[in-house]
């Protein structure tokens, strides 16, 4: 129980944010109306993804210096979970876009750039598949990860600010203030982010343990 | 200084090798000429300046991938080992990047000349600015593709992997570059594009820095 309290906390937070997100009141904003509730589901996905990719780059850098297979496993499993959250983020965004903007994919810059960041990490996974030898694979994928991570940061944070976008809260800021978050929304939003990050981390630890066991069996 | 001497020797070696068989030069020139010719057959004339710009950069993108991919992929194992014993990895990556940049800038200028002969650019084009955009673009392509080619060469079946790895990484550069080129074509005031030029230079510097740090790890094989 002592070691796993955070897992239960994550589960409770996600459950709370889902129920409260759909039931509690939200401010009335033009165009958005009730669909602002998407904020509780869509944005935490991206935060969880960023956290996962930060973990992966930490372990990639570590695996370059320690050459241990363990660090490499951690790096790749966190990329796997990060990619999952990225895809979920894109999907939740697309469903919301259908209601708010009229179509699933309106070639909004932020949408495009997040899709391209997903491509970056898909390329990472393809690269890993292309190399058979373990040590070499660990080293080369770590190098590509370190190369790709700043590119992703540039794509998701820097470039959208330079262009106009349909996303609420764009045309300048990265986004939260202009959502007109009032304290009701904050009460659900912050727990949602924390909850999803914890759940993502939990999935990552499980995947890591499985792959470590598989590796030991070989 | 030891490093500078090594870099100079390596660049000289690449240039001599290239001049002897002119493999990359001829290959890429042929590619550019044939693509422009095919476009000429389909478009006949191109009144739309957006299309003009887009087409030029598509051609240059694939030409650069072809040209720079050869830089690491054509080295045989034996030669690789030989160079490994002689020079420091940093000298090698600097030399390859400089050589590829010079090659790419030269190829871009020739390609641009040929392209302008076939499809007239618009009247209000700001020529020095467009040349600057082309030079910066080919420089960025060279630095990024050199590093990606180094990674792909270690992985085995290089060619396709090179394309898969390089495509997402080159997208931000392409976006800024096309915006800059479009500003030049519209004949806008130069101060409008300063941000984009700065951003391109920063991306180049970042990629170069990361390559310098990471290449020695890649090299030890």
Pick from A120, A132, A140: which is nearest to B168 by CB? A120
Which one of A140, A150, A160 would you mutate to disrupt binding with B, by most B Cβ within 10 Å of its Cβ?
Answer: A140
Report whether pLDDT(A175) > 50.
no
Mean pLDDT is lowest, of A115-119, B102-106, B186-190, B206-210, for B186-190
- Region A160-167 average pLDDT: 64
Burial class (CB in 10 A: 0-12, 13-18, 19+), A54: middle
pLDDT of residue A30: 66
| Rounded to 5°, angle at Cα A31 from A109 and A14 | 75
**Of B32 and A164, which is predicted with more confidence?**
B32
Report if residue A52 sits inside a domain. Answer: yes
| Residues 12-71, chain B, touching A (beta carbon < 8 A) | none
Domain count, chain B: 1
A136 and chain B in contact, CB less than 8 A: yes
pLDDT tens by residue, B125-154: 778 888 888 898 999 999 999 988 888 887
Mean pLDDT is lowest, of A74-78, A155-159, B154-158, for B154-158
Distance CA A107, CA A97 (A): 11
pLDDT of residue A181: 62
Mean pLDDT of chain A: 82
**Of A164 and A40, which is predicted with more confidence?**
A40
- Predicted model pTM: 0.81
A61 and chain B in contact, CB less than 8 A: no
pLDDT confidence bin for A172, thresholds 50/70/90: very low
Report whether pLDDT(A170) > 60.
no
Mean pLDDT is lowest, of A26-35, A193-202, B174-183, for A26-35
A136–B161 CB contact, under 8 Å: no
pLDDT tens by residue, A42-100: 888 888 999 999 999 999 999 988 888 889 999 999 999 999 999 999 998 888 888 87
pLDDT confidence bin for B21, thresholds 50/70/90: confident
Report if residue A197 sits inside a domain. Answer: no
Q: Which residues of B touch A143 (CB under 8 A)?
A: 151, 214, 217-218
Q: How far is A14 from chain B (nearest CA, A)?
A: 33
Report if residue A112 sits inside a domain. Answer: yes
Per residue, what are the HEC states of chain A? Answer: CCCCHHHHHHHHHHHHHHHHHHHCCCCCCCCCHHHHHHHHHHHHHHHHHHHHHHHHHHHHHHHHHHCCHHHHHHHHHHHHHHHHHHHHHHHHHHHHHHHHCCCCCCCCHHHHHHHHHHHHHHHHHHHHHHCCCHHHHHHHHHHHHHHHHHHHHHHHHHHHHHCCCCCCCCCCCCCCHHHCCCHHHHHHHHHHHHHHHHHHHHHHHHHHHHHHHHHHHC
Mean pLDDT is lowest, of A179-183, B144-148, B180-184, for A179-183
Report whether pLDDT(A176) > 90.
no
pLDDT of residue B202: 87
**Domain with B7 in it:** 2-219
B162 and chain A in contact, CB less than 8 A: no
| Residues 180-199, chain A, touching B (beta carbon < 8 A) | none
B172 and chain A in contact, CB less than 8 A: yes
Q: Least CA distance to A65: which residue of chain B? A: B217
- Most confident by average pLDDT, B30-44, B69-83, B99-113, B148-162: B99-113
Burial class (CB in 10 A: 0-12, 13-18, 19+), A188: buried
Mean pLDDT of chain B: 83
**Of B13 and A78, which is predicted with more confidence?**
A78
B214 and chain A in contact, CB less than 8 A: yes
Question: Could you report the predicted ipTM of this complex, rounded to two decimals?
Answer: 0.76
Report if residue A107 sits inside a domain. Answer: yes
Q: How far is B114 from chain A (nearest CA, A)?
A: 32
Pick from B165, B195, B214: which is nearest to A146 by CB? B214
Cβ-proximal residues to B85 (8 Å cutoff; 6+ apart), any chain: none
pLDDT tens by residue, A19-31: 888 887 777 666 6
pLDDT of residue A197: 92
Distance CA B121, CA B118 (A): 9
The residue behind tokens 């066991």 is A213
pLDDT of residue A174: 41
In 10 A of CB A180, how many CB atoms?
15
pLDDT tens by residue, B108-124: 998 888 888 888 777 77
- Region A133-156 average pLDDT: 86
**Domain with A173 in it:** 48-181+202-217
C-alpha separations of A63 from A71, A133, A150, B155 in Å:
5, 15, 18, 18
Report if residue A172 sits inside a domain. Answer: yes
Q: Which residues of B touch A117 (CB under 8 A)?
A: 168
- Region A150-157 average pLDDT: 82
Distance CA B168, CA A119 (A): 6
pLDDT of residue A56: 94
pLDDT of residue A165: 58
pLDDT of residue A1: 67
Q: How far is A180 from chain B (nearest CA, A)?
A: 30
C-alpha atoms less than 13 angstroms from C-alpha of B70 in its C-beta half-sphere: 19
Report whether pLDDT(B47) > 70.
no
Domain count, chain A: 1
Q: How far is A84 from chain B (nearest CA, A)?
A: 18
Report whether pLDDT(A156) > 60.
yes
Q: How far is A37 from chain B (nearest CA, A)?
A: 31
**Of A201 and B27, which is predicted with more confidence?**
A201
Query: Which bin fits B45, alpha (ψ -120 to 50), beta or left (φ > 0)?
Result: beta
């Amino acid at each position: 129980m002592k070691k796993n309290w955070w897992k239960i906390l994550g589960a409770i937070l996600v459950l709370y944010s889902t129920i409260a997100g759909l039931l509690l009141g939200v401010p009335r904003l033009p165009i958005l109306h009730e669909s602002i509730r998407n904020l509780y589901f869509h944005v935490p996905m991206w935060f969880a993804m960023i956290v996962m990719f930060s973990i992966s780059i930490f372990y990639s850098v570590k695996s370059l210096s320690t050459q241990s297979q363990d660090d490499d496993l951690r790096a790749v499993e966190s990329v796997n979970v990060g990619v999952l959250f990225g895809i979920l983020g894109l999907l939740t965004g697309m469903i919301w876009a259908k209601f708010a903007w009229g179509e699933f994919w309106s070639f909004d810059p932020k949408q495009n750039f997040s899709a391209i960041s997903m491509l970056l990490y898909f390329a990472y996974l393809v690269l890993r598949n292309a190399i058979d030898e373990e040590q070499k694979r660990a080293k080369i994928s770590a190098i590509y990860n370190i190369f790709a991570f700043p590119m992703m940061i540039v794509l998701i944070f820097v470039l959208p600010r330079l262009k106009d976008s349909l996303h609420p809260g764009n045309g300048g800021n990265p986004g939260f203030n202009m959502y007109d978050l009032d304290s009701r929304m904050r009460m659900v939003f912050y727990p949602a982010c924390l909850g999803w990050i914890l759940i993502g981390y939990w999935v990552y630890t499980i995947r890591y343990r499985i792959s470590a066991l598989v590796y030991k069996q070989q | 200084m030891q490093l500078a001497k090594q870099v100079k020797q390596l660049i000289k070696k690449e240039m001599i090798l290239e001049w002897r068989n002119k493999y990359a030069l001829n290959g890429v020139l042929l590619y550019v000429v044939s693509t422009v010719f095919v476009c000429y057959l389909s478009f006949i004339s191109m009144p739309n300046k957006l299309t003009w710009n887009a087409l030029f950069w598509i051609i240059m993108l694939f030409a650069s991938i072809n040209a720079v991919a050869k830089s690491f992929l054509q080295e045989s194992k034996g030669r690789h080992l030989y160079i490994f014993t002689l020079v420091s990895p940093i000298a090698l990556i600097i030399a390859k990047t400089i050589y590829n940049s010079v090659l790419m800038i030269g190829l871009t200028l020739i390609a641009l000349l040929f392209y302008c002969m076939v499809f007239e650019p618009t009247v209000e084009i700001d020529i020095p600015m467009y040349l600057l955009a082309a030079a910066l673009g080919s420089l960025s392509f060279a630095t990024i593709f050199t590093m990606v080619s180094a990674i792909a060469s270690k992985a085995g079946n290089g060619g396709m992997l090179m394309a898969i790895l390089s495509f997402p990484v080159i997208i931000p550069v392409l976006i800024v570059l096309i915006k800059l080129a479009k500003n030049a074509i519209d004949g806008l005031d130069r101060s409008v594009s300063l941000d984009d030029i700065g951003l391109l230079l920063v991306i180049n510097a970042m990629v170069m820095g990361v390559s310098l740090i990471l290449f020695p790890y890649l090299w030890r094989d």
